[in-house]
Amino acid sequence: MSLENDIKQKEFKSEYQKAVVNIIYTYNQTIDKISYIFKEYDITRQQFNVLRILRGQHPRPVNINVIKERMLDKMSDASRIVERLRIKELLKREKCQEDKRAVEVVITDKGLKLLELLDPRMVEFESKTIQLTEPEAKSLNLLLDKLRGSE
């Protein structure tokens, strides 16, 4: 389906306007679909993002600032997300060895197991949602990088 049919708009002022609307519309559609998967596991997409960051650092602990820097959703409150994940026992907080005032975070075995369950679901999601060939996906990634100004 075309964007025009999906949002019932016959024309746009320019191809640039259409591109912006298309990016926003596609983003929202993708978020809706992926959030449905996370809901089954009682986590949010931001919590999933934090768990993936921690898995990438495992077994080394990281501080909240590292998590904030790497998060996809920069508007998220990383401290609050970490606390919710701690309550679910998906990560644990530890005192920093170098700075006793600082707190570091490490993913737990329970958190790693949750990600192991989600990994095949994410592969399935990607293959069903991203209806592109690998060269097309590569081209899209290059265009999105260019759009963000990070060629």
Q: Is position 142 within any domain?
A: no
How many Cα atoms within 13 Å fall on the side-chain side of residue 107?
Answer: 22
52 and 32 in a common domain: no
Q: Is position 146 within any domain?
A: no
Q: Could you count the other beta carbons within 10 Å of the beta carbon of residue 49?
A: 19
99 and 50 in a common domain: yes
Length of the chain: 151
Q: What pTM, to 2 d.p., does this model score? A: 0.85
The answer to whether the beta carbons of residues 60 and 104 sit under 8 Å apart is no
Write the single-letter amino acid at 136: E
Range of the domain at 15: 10-40
Dump the DSSP string for 93-116. EEE-SS-TT-EEEEE-HHHHHHHH
Peptide bond into 59 cis (omega under 30): yes
91 and 22 in a common domain: no
82 and 26 in a common domain: no
> pLDDT tens for residues 10-34?
888 898 988 988 899 889 999 999 9
> pLDDT tens for residues 32-68?
999 999 999 999 999 999 999 999 999 999 988 889 9
